[in-house]
């Protein structure tokens, strides 16, 4: 089924890069749009224009613009070279378009809302493998998203073993 909007929850940690690699290699199909969804809990802006998107999030930002450090700074993104290379490879080899959307607020809720607002047909999130105690104390974004998103969700664990994947429909 080509032409899907596949969301990738990213915080640019090693865990989210693993999820990005997995999605690019295993889920992306020609004609799909890979949409990085970055939810920022902070409302502090380095540039004065970000407040324009506080409620609904940024517009979709194409990969070419994401590669420009000035554009990334406007949206408060910290894309590193490795992430940009993964995205460029996915675009070239898999025939997908790559975009980013920045949201402000609670990451778990914003990722779930993005399913409707973008809209997304699939969502991939990373999982840091928190212990049960830490999940209870800190909460788990991936657990919340799996239980509340209205689309299939794939959770890619930090170690990326095939048995470490969980998909919820």
Domain boundaries, the chain: 5-168
Q: Tell me how far apart the alpha carbons of residues 96 and 87 are, in angstroms, rounded to a whole number.
A: 9
**CA neighbours closer than 13 Å in the CB half-sphere of residue 145:** 33
Token digits of residue 135: 């999940």
pTM, entire model: 0.82
Instruction: Determine the CATH number of domain 5-168.
Output: 3.40.50.620
Please tell me the predicted confidence (pLDDT) of residue 45: 53
State phi, psi for 97 to the nearest 5 degrees: -95, 145
Q: Tell me how far apart the alpha carbons of residues 142 and 5 are, in angstroms, rounded to a whole number.
A: 19
Mark the ranges of the chain whose per-residue pLDDT is less than 70. 1-2, 42-54, 128-139, 159-169
**CA neighbours closer than 13 Å in the CB half-sphere of residue 51:** 5
């Amino acid at each position: 089924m080509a032409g899907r909007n596949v969301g990738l929850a990213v915080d640019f940690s090693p865990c989210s890069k693993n999820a990005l690699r997995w999605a690019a290699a295993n889920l992306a199909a020609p004609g799909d749009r890979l949409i990085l969804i970055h939810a920022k809990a902070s409302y502090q802006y380095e540039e004065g224009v970000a407040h324009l998107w506080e409620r609904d999030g940024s517009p979709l930002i194409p990969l070419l613009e994401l590669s420009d450090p000035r554009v990334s700074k406007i949206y408060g993104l910290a894309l590193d070279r490795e992430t940009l290379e993964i995205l460029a490879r996915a675009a070239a080899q898999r025939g997908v378009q790559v975009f980013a959307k920045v949201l402000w607020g609670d990451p778990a809720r914003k990722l779930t809302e993005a399913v409707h607002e973008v809209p997304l047909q699939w969502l991939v999130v990373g999982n840091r493998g928190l212990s049960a105690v830490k999940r209870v104390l800190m909460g788990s974004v991936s657990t919340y998203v799996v239980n509340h998103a209205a689309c299939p969700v794939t959770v890619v664990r930090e170690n990326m073993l095939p048995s470490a994947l969980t998909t919820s429909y």
